[in-house]
Every structure is written in C-alpha cells, then in structure tokens.
Structure 1
Amino acid sequence: MPAQLLANHEPVASYRYMECYRIDESGYTGFDLLNADQPFQGAAAIAISDDNAARLIGEHFPKLQASELKYRALSRRPGNRPRLLGLLRDLLADHKSVTYICDKRFLLILMFCDYAVEPWYYERGHDFYKDGQNYAMASLLALTGRTLLGDPQFDEMLAAFQHAVKEKDASALHALVDATRATAWHQFPEALGPLAQYAAPECLSAVANPGVDTDAALIVLQSLISRMEAMCDTPYRVEHDRSKNLATYNSLLHRLIAHEDEIELKQTKIASFKFPLKLTEVRQVDSKASPAVQVADVMIGAAIEAAMVMTGHRKNGIEPDSLISLYEDNQFIHLTPSIDFEEQKEFRRGTQASEVIDYFAANFVDPARGRR
C-alpha cells in the first residue's frame, strides 16, 4: 500500500512506531488575506504521544469538564492563562516542536511584489530576489504604504490585487491597474510603476496565471515541514484534525509526500527545502480522541492570540512577552515586516527565493498551470 494513501486506512505496524508530529492551524481564510477579524494565520507541529499529552493536560487542567481541550474556550477566562502558560512551558521544554505565524496583509504585499512587480524586473534581466530585495520592498510597503501612497488608496489597491488574482478576468485586471494609478504611486515608482506607469503585460499575465492564488496554506506548510525535516533523522508521520480548514492542508501534504524529485532549495540562511521528504505518511484523526492534536491547538491558539494582543488587534489575552520567553529560537518562525534591512539582507543572502517560487508553482499546482 502506498504510504501516502494511509490516511484512509488503518495504520500498518511500521506506521505505529514512526515519530509522529501532531499539527493544528488557526486563522485560515482561504484566498482572503485581508480578513479584518483574522489578520494572522499559522500552524503548530509537535512530536508528542497521546499518552504524554493527556498526562500534561491532566496535570495543568485537572478539573477540565469539556470533551476536549480548546484554546479559544479556555483563554476566555483570565484565570486559565497561568495554567495555559504552564502547559506551554512543559510542551516547549520537553518536546520537539515548531510554531509558525504570518501577518496575512504583509504576505499579500509580498505576493503583490512577486506577481505585480517582479515580472517587470525579470524581463529586464534584474534579479528582484537577490539578498531579499523583495522582502525589503514588501516591508517598506507594509509599514509606510498608507502614509506614502495614500489612505485608503493603498489598501484599495491591495484589495483590487487580491480580487484580480481570484477572478483573473479583464475587468478585474483593469480595476487593479486603475487602483494602482489612484495611489500616489510616483512616491514609490520602483514598486508601483510597472502597473501604474506601464500596465506591464508581463505583470498582468502573472496575476492572471491560473497557477497563482493568494491561499497561504502551502506557505505555512513549507515553513513547518522545513523545521520538521531538520528535526528528524528518520522517516516520520503527521496527524491532524478532520476540520474543514485542514482539508486544504491535508491535500497539500499528500502532494508533497508523493513528490519524488531529488532537489534541495535554500530558502533563507537557516532554512532549506529538500525533496524527497522524510515525511512519509499523513493521517486525519478526530481531535476529541487525540490529546496530542489538542495541545497543538493550544500552541497555535496562544501564538495567534499573542500576536493579536501585541499588534493592538485585541486588548485582552495571553501576555505576549510571557509566551515568547518560552520559545527557543528554532521553535518559532514568523513572517512579519522588518525595516532592519541589513539584518534581513544577511539572513537572505544567497538564497534561492525565485527558484523556490518557480519550483513550487510548477510542481504543486495543476499540470497546466505555472508561474510565468
């Protein structure tokens, strides 16, 4: 039986003894990265058995009456937060794990740079991704766009870009050009000029490409898998909940597992992606029957809530500094804007950002789709 088909069958013996990471997600809104209620998206993966997870839940929440541990329900009561932090402290100290969150608006701006800016530079022989130039441009746009380019015009341009990527028709593409021209684009022509000044066909073609979308699920999985692969010396497996949101993650995991090409791509100074994966199997489970999946829910729920509090999207919640202090450097990954350009340049020096984008677009979309 092929390993990637095990999600629909009982596990074989080797499956039972393989190291297993439990995964849960939060903040998934599909193509809509401008959802005001859920500005962050992320996922967490932890290598822990159901028995150990159940033991820790019992130690920290001995009077729990609910059928399963859910971060959102528990965090509503301030009195639960010290116990949640205690549980997270034990999880992070004693078990291999990774937590990833991204600022979805910033990710959309990065995508704007990838598809509405980069093709113009590519056609003129410029490496837009060298030493993280795309990240620097997106960070500058994220942090100064409303002031520099106009408020609400900048956000209206982002909404038009997201709509154009989804609809891919002439009307949506024209609306994107018009929205870009309505900004004070001449204040930052390096970023907005390709559309505003030239309505660059190569950029509009990239936006209209059927293989381009604004769904962040693959980006989240890339980050989780890059760390899980680094933490594991032998084949390992993944279990996750049967939720509707995780259906997209499940499909992508199967496709990543099935990919047999031998290749390694450098993403950042400390992260790379190598195929074929050591991840060999993925299985959907009922979270009510899996304490390990429940603690993954606590991990990502706490990280998202802390990000919301830190950025002023929420007034009350888990204390961000108390949570952040629990992580080792290699346990937490975030995608957020940064204007420390020298640090980012060093972090992304010599990476293969363009090749990574092209490779994933060519291999993990429908066969008729591609990036350019």
Structure 2
Amino acid sequence: MKAQLENQGPATGEKLAMECFRIDESGYTGYDLLNTDQRFQGATAIAISDADAAGLIKQHFPKLQASELKYRSLSRRSVNHPRLLALQRNLLSDYKCVTYVCDKRFLLVLKFLDYAVEPYYFERGIDFYENGQNYAMASMLSYAGPALLGKEAFEALLVAFQRAVKQKTPASLRDLVSAARRTKWRELPEALGPLAQYAAPECLEAISTPGVTTDAALVVLQSLISRMEAMAGGPYRVEHDQSNNLLSYNELLQRFIDHKEPIEFRQSAIASLKFPLQLAEVTQVNSKASPAVQLADVMIGAAIEAANNLVGLRTGGLDPEAVTSLYREDQFIHLLPSIDFDEQRRFRQGTQAAEMIDYLTYNVFGPPSGNRGRDGR
C-alpha cells in the first residue's frame, strides 16, 4: 500500500498510513454547564507527528525534567511564558491547528432555546433559527436575562432546565415549568411564553427525547470536525488522551465515524458538516507517551486560561492578548454571546441549524431505530 507522509512538518519525514490529528480538551464538566469554577470548555486538534512534537518540546524546553509537558504546571512560572508563546507560534505557523472555546453558560442558554422554545415555533411553521436569530436571543438573554427576568429566578430556570434534560422525569419537567412561571416572563414572552404560559407539550417532549443532553462535548466536536474535515487532504485519524473526560469524546467521535448516510449541513458562513466523514479512526493513547497530545494540552490550556483572564475570572499565566494574537481567524472557533446582532445575522444567514440539530439528535446520537425525528427519519 502506498504510504502518505503523515503530518510532515519542517522537521520530519515520518510515514504513517493516514494523517493524524491529536486532540486534547479542557473544562469538561459533563451535563453541568453552570459549574462556576470552569466557565469555559474547549479542545484543540493539531496535525503533528510525535517525532516533530518531541523535537519542538526539546527546542523550547531543553531542560524539562517532568515526564510530560503540562501547560498548567509550566504557566505558573513567568520564566516559561516566552517559551510557551514561542512554542504556540511555531505550531500555529507550521502545522494544521484548530482550537475551539465555548462559554458553557451561553451554550446552556442556546440549548434552552433549542429544546424549551424552538419546538413551539416549529409546530406553528416558524423557523426560529432563521439567520441565526436564536443566537441573537441567546446573547440577549445571557446579558440581560438576570435584569429582565429576575436574577435569582433566571438562575433557577437554568438550573431547572439542566436538571430536566438530565433526568427527563415528569417531576423535573413540572419543576421546569414552575421555574419559568416564577420569572418575570412577560418581559420576554417570545422566549419564556412557550413554557410559562402554555407548558408547551412539544417543548417538554423535546427535552424528554433520548439523546438530548446539555453535555457540551458534542458541540465541541462538531466544530473541531468541521475544521479537520476542511484541513485534511483525505482520510485521517484522531488520537487523544486516555483521560476519563475524553471517554465521552471518544464515543461521540466513533458515532460520527460510523454514520455513513450521505448528507451535508451548512453551519455558518465558514463551516459545514458533510457525511460520511473523511475521519476514519479514533484511538486513545497515554499522553505521557505522546508528545503530540502534550502539545494539544498546551494549546487548549493557554486558550482556556486566556478566556478566563479576558472576562476577569482568573489572573496570572500568559498575557491573554498575546495568546489570541497568535491565531489566524480560521484557526480559532469560539461560541460566546455577542450583542452585534447584525453581524450574527450575516454570519449565520442561510444556516441549517434546525435541520442539523434534528438530524444529529435522531440519526447519530438519539433514540434507538424505530423512534422518528421531526423530519420523519
């Protein structure tokens, strides 16, 4: 079989069967998106061989004594900061890289609109997702929800929604409706009315659907995969650490790989998702034996730290402006609230968000065969 050069950067001619992206994550808290200690979640994918990665580690940290390169340990000492920035600059300049960071609280608000609001409009023939208006409403709720709806009541609503999605019991659904009614929902009936005024059965059914979850791993992977698919020159594989957090990523990646039905969705002005994927294989490795996975840890660690510093949740570590300035626009994906509603509309014009959410929920990650989604599949 004719071998291809795998991830051939400036320093290696190592050959393997397929190009390989190494992935690491940070900030994973499962279904709990309101964890105050970890506001942001994300992941980085880098197409680099272990040989090249080992060479870069030796170049930038020649006196490293630890068994593996860990961003959190290195960033605590200011003497390491120039080296960490230089290492990331090399990676972003010479290798295929993508980093994704999301505000988990904002994502939870988006999911609330997806399942506790949108089905009500769908049943009435209204495209709630048209030109990204769901993102605009989620941004408004993120910024103004506490003031409009009552700070404690809005917080209780998000807690009740998260619990209802996880438990899917009649009691948790009743609690969710009650929480919606305790807010000042008449200040924003477009978002809260379906639950507070009508206890819309279509919304409660959507929340109860097997496969519907507040876990952010699927959202993170969708974004990483859309960029890896665009960067890869053909079939490729993924390797990631053996951590417990990445077990969820591993299962989701395998489901993506296993789905062979041809279909394509437009996610935004710069992203789409097309099945079947070029992604052919996912494996777990011990990060201590994979310099490439260690570099992914550095990239996502720096990005999450920068996000926390920029919003004032943390201090210390690398200068966040210095970190973000290293990235080209196509190397960094973020999911954050934005009050630039016109830009949101332009960016998401023509998106197929509704179709993609339904398709993935019912055909890739959802209920067993025999249960049908809204599209009848």
Global fold match (TM > 0.5): yes
CA deviations on 1:198-222 (whole Å, 9 max, x unpaired) are 1111111111222211111111111
* Distance in structure 2 (CA, Å) of the matches to 1:155 and 1:78: 38
Deviation, 1:21, is 0.6
1:361·1:370 contact (CA, 8 Å) conserved in 2?
no
Question: Could you tell me which residue of structure 1 aligns to residue 128 of structure 2?
Answer: 128
CA deviations on 1:76-101 (whole Å, 9 max, x unpaired) are 22222221111111111110110001
Question: Could you tell me which residue of structure 2 aligns to residue 87 of structure 1?
Answer: 87
1:40·1:104 contact (CA, 8 Å) conserved in 2?
yes
Question: Could you tell me which residue of structure 1 aligns to residue 300 of structure 2?
Answer: 300
Q: Percent identity?
A: 66
1:26·1:301 contact (CA, 8 Å) conserved in 2?
yes
2:218·2:252 contact (CA, 8 Å) conserved in 1?
yes
CA deviations on 1:175-212 (whole Å, 9 max, x unpaired) are 11111111111111110111111111111111122221
Report whether the alignment pairs 1:97 with 2:67: no
Amino acid at match of 2:275: F
CA deviations on 1:287-336 (whole Å, 9 max, x unpaired) are 10110000000000000000000011102222111011100110000000
Amino acid at match of 1:359: Y
Question: Could you tell me which residue of structure 2 aligns to residue 367 of structure 1?
Answer: 368
Question: Could you tell me which residue of structure 1 aligns to residue 144 of structure 2?
Answer: 144
Question: Could you tell me which residue of structure 2 aligns to residue 270 of structure 1?
Answer: 270
2:50·2:292 contact (CA, 8 Å) conserved in 1?
yes
Deviation, 1:370, is 5.9
SS at match of 1:22: strand
Question: Could you tell me which residue of structure 2 aligns to residue 185 of structure 1?
Answer: 185
* Distance in structure 1 (CA, Å) of the matches to 2:196 and 2:152: 17
Report whether the alignment pairs 1:45 with 2:42: no
SS at match of 1:152: helix
* Distance in structure 2 (CA, Å) of the matches to 1:353 and 1:77: 43
Question: Could you tell me which residue of structure 2 aligns to residue 357 of structure 1?
Answer: 357
Listed as ranges, the gaps of 5+ residues in structure 1 are 1-14
* Distance in structure 2 (CA, Å) of the matches to 1:362 and 1:198: 25
Deviation, 1:259, is 1.1
Q: How does 1:1-372 map to 2 (within 5 A)?
A: 16-365=16-365, 366-367=367-368
SS at match of 2:342: helix
SS at match of 2:151: coil
1:264·1:272 contact (CA, 8 Å) conserved in 2?
yes
SS at match of 2:69: coil
Greater CA drift, 77-86 or 335-344:
77-86
* Distance in structure 2 (CA, Å) of the matches to 1:356 and 1:247: 24
Deviation, 1:233, is 2.1
* Distance in structure 2 (CA, Å) of the matches to 1:283 and 1:164: 33
1:210·1:370 contact (CA, 8 Å) conserved in 2?
no
CA deviations on 1:218-252 (whole Å, 9 max, x unpaired) are 11111001001001121111111111111111111
* Distance in structure 1 (CA, Å) of the matches to 2:259 and 2:118: 27
Question: More relative contact order in 1 or in 2 (CA 8 Å, sep 6+)?
Answer: 1
SS at match of 2:16: helix
Deviation, 1:254, is 1.1
Question: Could you tell me which residue of structure 2 aligns to residue 11 of structure 1?
Answer: none
2:259·2:364 contact (CA, 8 Å) conserved in 1?
no
* Distance in structure 2 (CA, Å) of the matches to 1:40 and 1:73: 19
1:211·1:370 contact (CA, 8 Å) conserved in 2?
no
Number of aligned positions between the proteins: 358
1:209·1:371 contact (CA, 8 Å) conserved in 2?
no
Listed as ranges, the gaps of 5+ residues in structure 2 are 1-14
1:209·1:370 contact (CA, 8 Å) conserved in 2?
no
1:98·1:331 contact (CA, 8 Å) conserved in 2?
yes
The TM-score with structure 1 as length reference comes to 0.94
SS at match of 2:327: coil
1:26·1:304 contact (CA, 8 Å) conserved in 2?
yes
CA deviations on 1:241-270 (whole Å, 9 max, x unpaired) are 111111111111111111111111111111
Amino acid at match of 2:64: L
* Distance in structure 2 (CA, Å) of the matches to 1:250 and 1:218: 11
The TM-score with structure 2 as length reference comes to 0.93
Q: List 4+ stretches of structure 1 deviating above 3 A.
A: 368-372
1:110·1:134 contact (CA, 8 Å) conserved in 2?
yes
1:142·1:337 contact (CA, 8 Å) conserved in 2?
yes
Question: Could you tell me which residue of structure 1 aligns to residue 9 of structure 2?
Answer: none
Deviation, 1:156, is 0.9
Deviation, 1:371, is 5.4
